[in-house]
């Protein structure tokens, strides 16, 4: 199997990457950087996000595996002390995987240029030095005029990240849904928003048409983008999906419980 290993620069991750490299080569696998069949990230969820964006152009050809060198994350099934078990699982690989939905982001700018992105967790639009103002459309129909710090549009797997910190719901990743959460919205007698997270159906899309400003900031997962003046941004469920090589079942709600609640009493 052609395998790429992407590790973060931490000391423990470097040690685990070296151990994993040695064992994979001894097992007859080919280590590559281009066109891998499997990508193993070593670090945390941030490292997995970096790996996803590095190979997002070949999502139909590649599966991902996460090895965590800290606490168990939402995208990482294996711990740093389980390298031997992972290598054994790879020997018995039969192509098994689980896939999760992604966010398709398309921005159109006032100068008629455009940009396209895929997000695994979420994308946001914010104004850092004042109130963001944007018209919000759902499936092409006007929904509301938003005023506040910004809006966050997340995938189901991303619902446990920035969206949750803004009061969003936790969504099971088997649901093909997007979630819109407000970031410090303004609600008074003059301005009014729904002031609640919105979860859309699979065939719906969300469009933002912000008031013309050149100081808005877009984020796509961990990447910050300072775009030209934005005319429109459209968010929808992507036709592409991310595929994780799943060699053992780890229940989504167990991950949620472990991350946010802790040991059962």
Catalytic residues: 45
Q: Which two tokens stand for residue 157?
A: 């797997």
Rounded CA separation 237/104 (Å): 6
The span from the first CA to the last CA of the chain, in angstroms, equals 43
Burial pattern 23-37, b for ≥16 Cβ within 10 A else e, equals bbeeeebeeeeeebb
Using only the alpha carbons of the chain, give its radius of gyration.
Answer: 20
CA distances from 106 to 40, 116, 235 (A): 29, 5, 7
Q: Give backbone dihedrals phi and psi of 113, rounded to 5 degrees, phi first.
A: -85, 170
CA distances (Å), origin 198, targets 5, 118, 137, 150: 37, 20, 12, 14
């Amino acid at each position: 199997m052609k395998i790429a290993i992407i590790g973060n620069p931490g000391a423990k991750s470097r040690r685990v990457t070296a151990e994993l490299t040695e064992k994979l080569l001894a097992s007859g696998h080919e280590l590559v950087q281009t066109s891998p069949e499997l990508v193993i990230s070593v670090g945390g969820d941030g490292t997995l996000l970096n790996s996803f964006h590095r190979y997002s152009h070949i999502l139909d050809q590649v599966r991902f595996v996460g090895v965590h060198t800290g606490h168990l994350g939402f995208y990482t099934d294996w711990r740093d002390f389980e390298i031997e078990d992972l290598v054994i699982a790879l020997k018995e690989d039969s192509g098994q995987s689980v896939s999760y939905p992604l966010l398709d982001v398309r921005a159109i700018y006032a100068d008629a240029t455009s940009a396209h992105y895929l997000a695994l967790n979420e994308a946001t639009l914010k104004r850092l030095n004042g109130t963001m103002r944007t018209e919000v459309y759902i499936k092409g129909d006007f929904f509301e005029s938003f005023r506040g710090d910004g809006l966050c549009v997340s995938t189901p797997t991303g619902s446990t990240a920035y969206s949750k910190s803004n009061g969003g719901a936790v969504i099971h990743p088997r649901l093909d849904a997007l979630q819109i959460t407000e970031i410090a919205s303004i609600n008074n007698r003059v301005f009014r928003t729904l002031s609640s997270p919105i979860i859309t159906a699979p065939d719906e899309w969300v469009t933002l048409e912000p008031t013309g400003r050149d100081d808005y900031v877009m984020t796509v997962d961990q990447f910050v983008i300072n775009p030209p003046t934005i005319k429109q941004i459209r968010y929808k469920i992507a036709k592409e999906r991310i595929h994780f090589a799943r060699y053992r079942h780890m229940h989504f709600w167990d991950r949620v419980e472990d991350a946010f609640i802790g040991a059962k009493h």
